[in-house]
Amino acid sequence: MRASRKTKKRAVGVIRRYLKWAAITVALGIVASILLILPLRWFDPVTSAFILRDDSGRVPPMYQWVDWERLGSSAPLAAVAAEDQRFAEHFGIDVQSIRKSIKAAENGARLRGASTITQQLAKNLFLSPSRNLFRKAVEAYLSVVIEVCLPKRRILEIYLNIVELGPGLYGIGAASQHYFHKHPSQLNDAEAALLAAVLPNPSRLNVAAPSPYVRDRQRWIVGQMQRLRREGWLSGL
C-alpha cells in the first residue's frame, strides 16, 4: 500500500516537473517571438526567408524597400482587394473567411485558401512555402504575435515590400521597376492590380505575359480597388 502511494507521488512529481518545464518552454518561445517581431515596428527587414531560399536563378534576387509614404495608394489597395479585404477587421486569422471557405467546400466548391495578409507576411518573412500542419500552426501563432506587436499599416507596408511578385522579384519596388519601369507611387490601378493578380502563385502566373485568368482577376481587382477607394479604406488604416 505504502509502495503504491510512493509510486503515485513520484508519478505526480514527474508530471509536475514536465508541466513546469513545458510552461517555461512556452514562455521562452513567446518572449523569443516577441523579441523577433517587435523591432520590425521601427526597423525594416533586410531580407526574408523566401529571399534567402530563392532558387529563381536571378543573382542576387531583386529587393528594393519603399517606405509607406512613397508607396502611393494603388499598390496597397490592390493587395488588400486581391488578398484580404477584411484585413482591417481581423486579428491575424480571419475566422469568418475560413468558415465560408469550409462551407463552400461542403457544398461542392473547391476548397480555397483563407490566409490573411498577416499570415502571408509571417510565412514569407520567417517560414517556408511548405503546406504541412506544423508549419501552418507556427504561421498562425506568428500572425497573432505580429498583430500584437505591429500596427496594421506597418504590417501592410512590410508585406508589400517582401512579397514575391515574380521569379527573383521581391517587393512592390523591385516589381514595379522591372515590369513597368516606374516607381510604385506612379502605378495606376490597372498596373497595381496586374501585380496583385499573380500573388496566388507568382512563380507560375506571369505579369509580363498574363494569361486570360490573370486578366480576368486583374479586372476584378480593379473593381474592388475602386470600391475600397470610394469607401475611404486607406484613410482609416
- Provide the CATH number for the domain around residue 154: 1.10.3810.10
111 and 222 inside one domain:
yes
49 and 29 together in one domain: no
* pLDDT tens digit sequence for 24-54: 988 998 999 999 999 999 999 999 999 999 9
Query: Is 52 in the same domain as 134?
Result: yes
Alpha carbon separation from 114 to 102, 111, 117, 121, 189 (Å, rounded): 10, 9, 10, 14, 24
- pLDDT for the residue numbered 111: 46
Q: How far apart are CA 175 and CA 183, in angstroms?
A: 9
Q: Region 92-117: what's the mean pLDDT?
A: 71
The reply to whether 29 and 78 lie within a common domain is no
Q: For the chain, what percent of residues have pLDDT higher than 70?
A: 92
Q: How far is CA 125 from CA 208, 215, 225, 229, in A?
A: 25, 28, 26, 28
Claim to verify: residue 158 and residue 62 sit in the same structural domain:
yes
- CA 191/CA 195 separation, integer angstroms: 6
Q: Which domain holds residue 19?
A: 1-43
What is the Cα 86 distance to its own chain's centre?
A: 13
Q: How many residues does the chain have?
A: 237
Cell triple for residue 121? 507576411
H-state helical runs in 181-230: 189-197, 212-230
The residue written with cell numbers 506568428 in the block is: 142
pLDDT (tens digit, 9 = 90+) per residue, 193-212? 999 999 989 989 999 999 99
Q: How far is CA 12 from the centre of its chain?
A: 43
Instruction: Count structural domains, the chain.
Output: 2
pLDDT band at 102 (very low <50, low <70, confident <90, very high): low
Same domain, 29 and 75: no
Contacts of 21 (CB under 8 A, 6+ apart): none
- Confidence at residue 9, expressed as pLDDT on a 0 to 100 scale: 72
Q: Are residues 183 and 221 in the same domain?
A: yes
Tens-digit pLDDT profile for residues 151-198: 999 999 999 999 999 999 999 999 999 999 999 999 999 999 999 999
